[in-house]
A and B are shown apart, each in its own frame.
Chain A
Amino acid sequence: MGDSQYSFSLTTFSPSGKLVQIEHALTAVGSAANGVVIATEKKLPSILVDETSVQKIQYLTPNIGVVYSGMGPDFRVLVRKSRKQVEQYHRLYKEPIPVTQPVRETAAVMQEFTQSGGVRPFGVSLLVAGYDDNGPQLYQNAKTFLEKRYTDDMELDDAVHTAILTLKEGFEGQISGKNIEIGIIGTDKNFRVLTPAEIDDYLAEVE
């Protein structure tokens, strides 16, 4: 798994009072006996931004999802590379890739960029959630400011509630289905991003 070789802390900066380039994101995880939940706040630079055009939680395969905190553009690059590696694995072995593989390969890429000349390291830390023959799994490479709570042994619904409560603690402003994203993977082995309506339902239960 990738080491945190970065000794600085990523801060948000706004040159000339403009767009935030690095998102100081809150991410939460919950692990259930039969699934995994990852949730993140979706901080948009302005109300003028169309929130449906942005998705922080991405699929690597139907049964592996990933979310990040840090620099969005860097995340896109890693997702693209991962997806390609996943496809290549599938082409060769004709079976779904175990969760550890893309994690290990992505970590290797991130390490490469800390060592090669002429490139800078990726400014992201990842949370990978998936379900394979070994059951539900969650991997992360932590950053100092990434806030996380880890809980065990509960039903998937409870895990979602816990994740929401965790996000709520650090959240500024009104939390709603529009400014957080939640991804879950359960015994059906399908990684799924919840719709804003479903998130609102969970929020109502938590209130």
Chain B
Amino acid sequence: MSRGSGGGYDRHITIFSPEGRLFQVEYAFKAVKAAGITSIGVRGKDSVCVVTQKKVPDKLLDQTSVTHLFPITKFLGLLATGMTADARTLVQQARNEAAEFRFRYGYEMPVDVLSKWIADKSQVYTQHAYMRPLGVVAMVLGIDEEKGPQLYKCDPAGHFYGHKATSAGSKEQEAINFLEKKMKNDPAFTYKETVQTAISALQSVLQEDFKATEIEVGVVKADDPVFQVLSTEEIDEHLTAISERD
């Protein structure tokens, strides 16, 4: 039973338009951009770093409660770019799934397995009319026992890929262009280089120098595979190193 022209509903729910497009999925991508934040992730030789802007719109808001960087387990982190409310529900489900995985199988959920799970869930929303896709792009990072540092990105369409470096949000394309140049010859960044590449990519793309309180940075290192959110002091050190270098 073909749906013909979609009856105008092809924009309202995730069914195909006559040209074969899924408008709701496209709009989900736009929602990610509309959040007005850009995020960057870089994978080094033995570490992964993700950076995002921290925009606190109201002085009365408690800064520490505004975050897009979430630990999923002790060893896995997730950077959510886009609609904050959608991000929270995704994080909640991911945390649940990772904990169950650990209980069921007796070992920590690997980065790619979690990413696949997130992507498969997103795919369901693109195919079933009862729920809309989430307006979130998720970057998942961790150290894989066999493959080393891993950075995955999952989008509202249900795609997920491993990345050497990537970006999401309003200035995504500019950031990717910047990163492509930096990663051209497969450099093997040290931990410091990884963090500084990520931060300077964000600074270059947004054309502003940040204060440590204006960005959030999350890392995992092979020698200490715990997911860590850097403190303001640690961020400052890196910012200083970058400005001295330039």
Contacts and interface: CB of A to CB of B under 8 A. Distances in A.
Interface of A: 5-11, 13, 15-19, 21-22, 44-50, 52-54, 71-74, 76-77, 80, 113-115, 117-123
A74 B126 CA distance: 9
A48 B176 contact: yes
Contact of B127 (A13, A45, A113): A113
Interface of B: 1-2, 14-22, 25-27, 29-30, 33, 43, 112, 116, 119-120, 122-124, 126-130, 152, 155, 157-159, 161-166, 172-173, 176, 179-180, 183-184
A97 B112 CA distance: 29
B207 to A, nearest CB: 19
A16 B159 contact: no
Given A48-B166, A54-B162, A72-B159, A16 B180 contact: no
Contacts, number: 117
B20 A123 contact: yes
A198 B166 CA distance: 29
5 smallest beta-carbon distances between A and B, as pairs:
A53-B162, A73-B158, A73-B123, A50-B162, A15-B26
A77 B123 contact: yes
Contact of B172 (A18, A44, A117): A18
A48 B183 contact: yes
A199 to B, nearest CB: 19
Contacts of B29: 15-16, 18-19
A98 to B, nearest CB: 28
5 contacts: A11-B20, A17-B173, A47-B183, A48-B179, A120-B129
A123 B16 contact: yes
